[in-house]
Structure 1
Amino acid sequence: MSEVYDLLVVGAGPGGLAAGIYGSRSKMKTAVLDKNAEPGGQAATTAELENYPGFWEGTTGPGIMEKFADHAKAFGTEFLRGTVDEVDFSGPIKTVHTQQGDTYQAKAVVLSPGATPRKINVKGEAELRGQGVSYCATCDADFFVDLDVCVVGNGDAAIEEAMYLTKFAATVTIIVIHEEGNLDCNKASAEKAMKNPKLKWVWNSTVEEIAGDGLVEKVVLKNIDTGELTDYPTNGVFVFIGTEPHTAFVKDKIELDDRGYIVTNDMMETNVPGVYGVGDAREKYLRQVITAAADGAIAASAAEKYLSELETLQNDVLDESKDKPVLLAFWAPQIQESIDSISAVDKVVEGNSDPVGLVKLDTYRAKKTATQYNVNEIPTVVLFKDGKDVARVEGAKNITAESVADLLK
């Protein structure tokens, strides 16, 4: 059993590494746990990367991910190796177990397990990945200007990506497993695609092989009805048959959508306090290195505020209230009435004959604590005794010197 980390990041993709950078820089004891020896996740498999800001001349996925990792290490992030197979997020200290038999504990956890594109698993696909085989039009379309490419898939994502590719490629041929005119995408997208002059269609067919000498040169197509094999020249193959998030180990531990993606709010918070989701495994609109990095920065920042709230609540309220009453006052600087009310609370505490603790929390910065104690009106003053909230006064009209004094009787 290791010591307890402030922040444990599961997964070393761009989202996880960014969380490591921001976590360590915030002076949290931070570790990144990943199953691979080299960091970077899916991004590290990208041979060329030219849409990350500042790198208009291009860079490589492994190269920029190495920089991310070095940046995290420079701030003190610890790197751990292991494949997570079980977690326990039920208590204030989160526990993560690996297949290798190691157990790690942390006050907050950022989940960055990633997702992988579903593959068609044919000869040549793996060998030519990054050499004409792609799973991301946004990433790679610019490499195929005035060339001919194929798209495998016919759902909403496939048709949308194929339409995007027509802005770059000379022609885009969609390989469809169904009979002519039958697509899995929505009707509006299908009608629009059918009218696009740069789109070609091969119906009732599957890809049997992707071939080329160092670069994609052709696909071998199989007609489902006749079994006939046909060589089809092309410069690139884009596969869009869905992605698979690596979230099996957190099933029933946090909320996932019906496809297995992690459900979060805009602070990257899951439905479990102290647990965050980032990167490609998160339910989101755009899966790119830049959006994953943004997720990680947000999650680590949110985790730092969460831990700060916990520390304040535990040390200044729950522990202190075992020796003396403690007033926890929720206010907001933009609400003038709450400022006036807190002043009244200050005067009562200062003039009280018996010792009374007072902790003031800005609800903007202490949303978790406000939610935990069902604070629905600002200002609210909650009285704690023996580590428990026992009484409260809500609303500016009700919080007066007299009402606060009565609260303490």
Structure 2
Amino acid sequence: MEYDLVIIGAGPSGLTAAIYAARYKLNTLVIGEQIGGLAAEAEEIHNFPSHKKITGIELIKKMREQVENLGVEIKNSYVNSIKKIDSQFLVKTSSTEYKAKKIILATGTKKRKLGLELEDKFLGKGISYCATCDAAFFKNKIVGVVGGSNSAITAALLLSKFANKVYIIYRKDKFFRAEPKLVEEVEKNEKIKLIFNSNVTELIGENKLEGVKLDNGDKLNLDGLFIEIGSVPNLKLAEELGIELEENYIKVDKKQRTNIRGVFACGDVTNSPLKQIIVACAQGAIAANSAYEELKGE
């Protein structure tokens, strides 16, 4: 099957690119392993225009419906490889091959791990990277959140609705990156205890998480630990194509072009300094426009 444009990634950036591509009458396909990406995991979004408050799942549902109403197909698949053959690209999933004149990489990021022994073993057995998904399983329990960003604080606030006690474990002496309004909410919440200048150095348990050790020697008995220490970009396809990186993100110009002609990138996988849904959407629109302009000139 041949397309004018194949978009890899179905988060806000990729879906927005698809909306614009459809309006430009480009024959477009979206392929995404996780529809919505990490944005779908957001419990509450307060800074997306036109919505005072909306969940990530609701926002992605609306975006997906808009894309599909415009006639763009979304494939829920993992892309194994992309190869440039002459002036086209061959996109391979586990079951199908697609040809594309242009590619948009909107592959996003994945949650960063602590890198501790037993972390993978305890996944789903006390360890989680998604409070929105798992908070309800910890009713009347004691849990910890590692991190100091907006996502960590939002996770703690959500968990406090279910758990008896929530520890926020942060390596610095105060919150530097989180929005003041969120910090204020946490500080007023009686269920949340802040532990600054501390790192989790060991996970404790046999068949499930039972607690953690901190670098100051303290031990916390926990039923769950939610890891919110940032994310890392999904770069496998970009690296295989030989795309230039900047500080381990895809380097793009103001038109979302990479160093490989015909390949554009948008969203959190790029070197944009502000990782926000609204920024990712804007980049998706620009990437689609740039792909259209390039096709028009050929």
C-alpha deviations, 1:70-106, integer Å up to 9, x for none?
A: 11111111222421121113532121112x1311111
Letter in 2 for 1:272: I
Change (3 A) 1:69 1:281: same
Hey, what does 2:213 align to over in structure 1?
Answer: 222
Structure 2 unaligned blocks of 5 or more:
136-142, 161-165, 205-209
Hey, what does 1:129 align to over in structure 2?
Answer: 131
- The CA distance in 2 between the partners of 1:140 and 1:54, in whole Å, is 25
- The CA distance in 2 between the partners of 1:166 and 1:105, in whole Å, is 48
> Counterpart of 2:292 in 1: which secondary structure?
helix
Change (3 A) 1:26 1:151: farther
Letter in 2 for 1:12: A
From 147, 150, 157, the equivalent of 2:168 is 150
From 260, 267, 272, the equivalent of 1:279 is 267
Kindly report which structure 2 residues correspond to 1:6-405, keeping only aligned pairs within 5 A, or say none: 6-36=4-34, 39-56=35-52, 58-89=53-84, 91-98=86-93, 100-120=94-114, 121=119, 123-126=125-128, 129-130=131-132, 131=135, 137-138=149-150, 141=153, 144=157, 150-153=168-171, 160-161=176-177, 166-170=183-187, 201-203=196-198, 205-206=200-201, 208=203, 220-224=211-215, 229-231=219-221, 239-240=228-229, 242-257=230-245, 260-310=248-298
- The percentage of counterpart residues that share the same residue type is 27
Letter in 2 for 1:239: E
Contact 2:167 2:194 in 1 (8 A): no
Structure 1 unaligned blocks of 5 or more:
173-197, 210-218, 311-409
TM-score of the aligned structures, taking structure 2 as reference length: 0.74
Measured after TM superposition, the shift of residue 30 of structure 1 is: 0.9
Measured after TM superposition, the shift of residue 170 of structure 1 is: 1.1
Q: Which has the higher contact order (CA 8 A, sep 6+)?
A: 2
- The CA distance in 1 between the partners of 2:167 and 2:127, in whole Å, is 15
- The CA distance in 2 between the partners of 1:51 and 1:163, in whole Å, is 12
Hey, what does 2:139 align to over in structure 1?
Answer: none
Change (3 A) 1:67 1:223: closer
> Counterpart of 1:280 in 2: which secondary structure?
coil
- The CA distance in 1 between the partners of 2:288 and 2:200, in whole Å, is 47
C-alpha deviations, 1:231-285, integer Å up to 9, x for none?
A: 4899x96622x42211112314142426542111111111111111111111221
Hey, what does 2:207 align to over in structure 1?
Answer: none
Measured after TM superposition, the shift of residue 202 of structure 1 is: 4.6
> Counterpart of 2:131 in 1: which secondary structure?
coil
Measured after TM superposition, the shift of residue 110 of structure 1 is: 0.5
> Counterpart of 1:160 in 2: which secondary structure?
coil
Letter in 1 for 2:219: L
Change (3 A) 1:26 1:295: same
Change (3 A) 1:48 1:140: farther
TM-score of the aligned structures, taking structure 1 as reference length: 0.56
Measured after TM superposition, the shift of residue 203 of structure 1 is: 4.0
Change (3 A) 1:307 1:81: same
> Counterpart of 1:18 in 2: which secondary structure?
helix
Change (3 A) 1:290 1:127: closer
- The CA distance in 2 between the partners of 1:295 and 1:221, in whole Å, is 40
Contact 2:170 2:195 in 1 (8 A): no
C-alpha deviations, 1:26-55, integer Å up to 9, x for none?
A: 11111101224xx21111122332321111
> Counterpart of 2:297 in 1: which secondary structure?
helix
What is the count of residue pairs matched by the alignment? 265
> Counterpart of 2:6 in 1: which secondary structure?
strand
Contact 1:149 1:238 in 2 (8 A): no
- The CA distance in 2 between the partners of 1:44 and 1:32, in whole Å, is 17
Change (3 A) 1:233 1:276: same
Measured after TM superposition, the shift of residue 223 of structure 1 is: 4.1
